[in-house]
Chain A
Amino acid sequence: MPEQPDFYTTTGNKSGLWSWIFSTDHKRIGVLYLFSLLVFFSIGAAFGLLMRLELIAPGKTIVEAATYNAFFTLHGVIMIFLFIIPGIPVSLGNFFLPLQIGAGDLAFPRINLLSWWLYMAGGLMALMSLFLGSGPPDTGWTFYAPYSIRTGTNVTMAVSAAFVLGFSSILTGLNFVTTIHRMRAPGMTWFRMPLFVWSLYATAWVQILATPILGITLLLVVTERLFGVGFFDPAKGGDPILYQHLFWIYSHPAVYIMVLPAMGVITEIIPVFSRRTIFGYKAIAFSSMAIASVGYFVWGHHMFTSGMSDTSRAVFSFLTFIVAIPSGVKVFNWVASLYKGSIRVDAPLLFSLSFIFLFSLGGLTGLIMGSLATNVHIHGTHFIVAHFHYVMFGGAGFAFIAGLHYWFPKMTGRMYSERRAKTGWAFLFTGFQLLYFPLFILGWQGMPRRYYDYLPDFHPLNAASTVGSWILAAGLIIIFFNLLRSIRNGGQAGPNPWGGTTLEWRTSSPPPAENFEVAPVVTEGPYAYHHKKDRIL
């Protein structure tokens, strides 16, 4: 491959920091997002560790109840709105969507940059809500009315932050949809697109069609706080349950914004490391779309104990079970793709297999939550905390790390230390189980979430969980240290270290500013391993 300068050396007419924060190159914006995400993730993780530390023993350990309330609110707001919702699409998606469809950039490069600026503005506002006004918000990330309207803490700022972040998310979504429709390389038909692109496509639609509902909901919280209109205030004829409806109309589909791209990453990795084409390409593509659409009709399962009507409780519970079908389709297809494959358990696959295991646990406990009767028993306990950490961290988080390892050579041109990656995995996986599994048991036994104190009976499992949080943190440190260090010190990776067949592996590592020297022409599906037996790892 004739050498063209890679995109790191092509700075245009700007230099230093400016060549990053004003760049419209999707690869630079992707890297920019990656580091921004890492910063916010670290802050969110710090709040999480502090919460676990408070819960190491009953009674007050390190902070007062009010501070603990601020901790779980900020942990939730940062992790959800600043890490896991933008997460994979804005970083890996931004970088690899154009590469995978053989395009030069996204359809709207400047809007892409604008979405990063909005993201940073929203992030700073969320952090400022900690220090400005009368104290950090203490409502939880859900901002439930009427408390969010009455509390004296700085909810207005936090809510506005989430609004700005929503706008950023919408811009990413419409950019991706337009790009996929308009900019596929010649020959790249819909069913020749890599499945990561399909998952981003489904996600982008959810971003476009669900996020505005969050926008109006948060705007209403601000209006209520400033003007006291009364939509959610029974004293004025309003109805607080309507707030919950509006909030979850967005926030349930948002769960799929978080997990669909993660599933896409896993679908990319499995064929590469088992040297087989993916099993059931169309089934996986359609199940992404199915999850995205059915995901709209199940929001009520967050509200089983809110006092809404029995009819809607039964209907929402039933609809919830339908989501399990396309999710199950994916899991079976992944496992079937591995069957009789020539499997090599490198770090990306190791994280992917962990994803399948943890996501299945999270998904199956989701069915327990989705059943009306059992939900009433475990609603608002630590069971739900365990469930969504299995899905969000065990699912989306592990997939993110898997994707980082898989595409790290392409992004940097370097290889990380495989040994350190596996050590990091061992710590992360062990710590994860020790941290979150006890919470299932505690929740089943009745320990409620969002309290800084608990009965002495719950002490041993809580202590174990806190120890788990330290092991998990050690794992994260090893993983990120390994990756950051390898940016400079890793060995040369070459254009295609894994023997991948999707388009991003056909250009140099790191790619040139224009992505491809020659515009690629596509003649076959994305995972054509059947006639590539001669290629070895």
Chain B
Amino acid sequence: MNDMKTETGPAYSGYVLTWLVLLGLTAATVLVYHLHLGSAGAAAALAIASLKAGLILLFFMHLLREGPFLRAIFLLPVLLTGVIIGLTFLDVWYR
């Protein structure tokens, strides 16, 4: 775990930059919607959302600066949600 007490943390400008990228991605996802891509559009929307979530996690929530334990373990609940949905679909698709 980084000892965050000794340093002042990231510069303000880094946060503002992250925010600008997030706004850009929001514009992008609305744009993709208007292209009416069908199921590819749904995949694109999810990909953009995950990109945005990743930015928030890494920069706003400082996951990038946390120790290896939190960074690795964070994947656990995310993967688990995926597995739960996946195993349920084994039922839903083949019923």
The residues of A with any CB-CB pair to B shorter than 8 Å are: 181, 209, 213, 241-242, 245, 249, 296-297, 299-300, 307-312, 315-316
Contacts and interface: CB of A to CB of B under 8 A. Distances in A.
A312 B93 CA distance: 10
B47 to A, nearest CB: 25
A523 to B, nearest CB: 25
Given A181-B69, A312-B94, A209 B77 contact: yes
Contacts of A249: 84
27 contacts: A181-B69, A209-B76, A209-B80, A213-B84, A241-B91, A242-B88, A245-B91, A249-B84, A296-B80, A296-B83, A296-B84, A297-B83, A297-B87, A299-B87, A307-B95, A308-B91, A309-B90, A309-B91, A309-B94, A309-B95, A311-B90, A311-B91, A311-B94, A312-B90, A312-B94, A315-B87, A315-B90
9 closest pairs, A vs B, by CB?
A: A309-B94, A311-B94, A312-B90, A309-B95, A312-B91, A308-B91, A309-B91, A245-B88, A311-B90
Contacts of B93: 309
A360 B77 CA distance: 32
Contacts, number: 38
A300 B80 contact: no
Interface string B74-86: 0011001001100
A459 B58 CA distance: 65
Interface in B38-95: 69, 76-77, 80, 83-84, 87-88, 90-95
Contacts of A209: 76-77, 80
Contacts of B92: 309
A297 B77 CA distance: 14
B84 A310 contact: no
A300 B84 contact: no
A435 to B, nearest CB: 36
Q: Which of B91, B94, B95 has the most CB of A within 10 A?
A: B91
Contacts of B84: 213, 249, 296
Contacts of B94: 309-312
Nearest to B80: A209
B21 to A, nearest CB: 30
A242 B95 CA distance: 12
A118 B87 CA distance: 33
Contacts of A299: 87
A181 B73 CA distance: 13
Nearest to A319: B87
Nearest to A249: B84
A316 B84 CA distance: 12
Contacts of B91: 241, 245, 300, 308-309, 311-312
A315 B87 CA distance: 9
Nearest to B88: A245
B68 to A, nearest CB: 12
B69 to A, nearest CB: 7
B27 to A, nearest CB: 32
Nearest to A212: B77
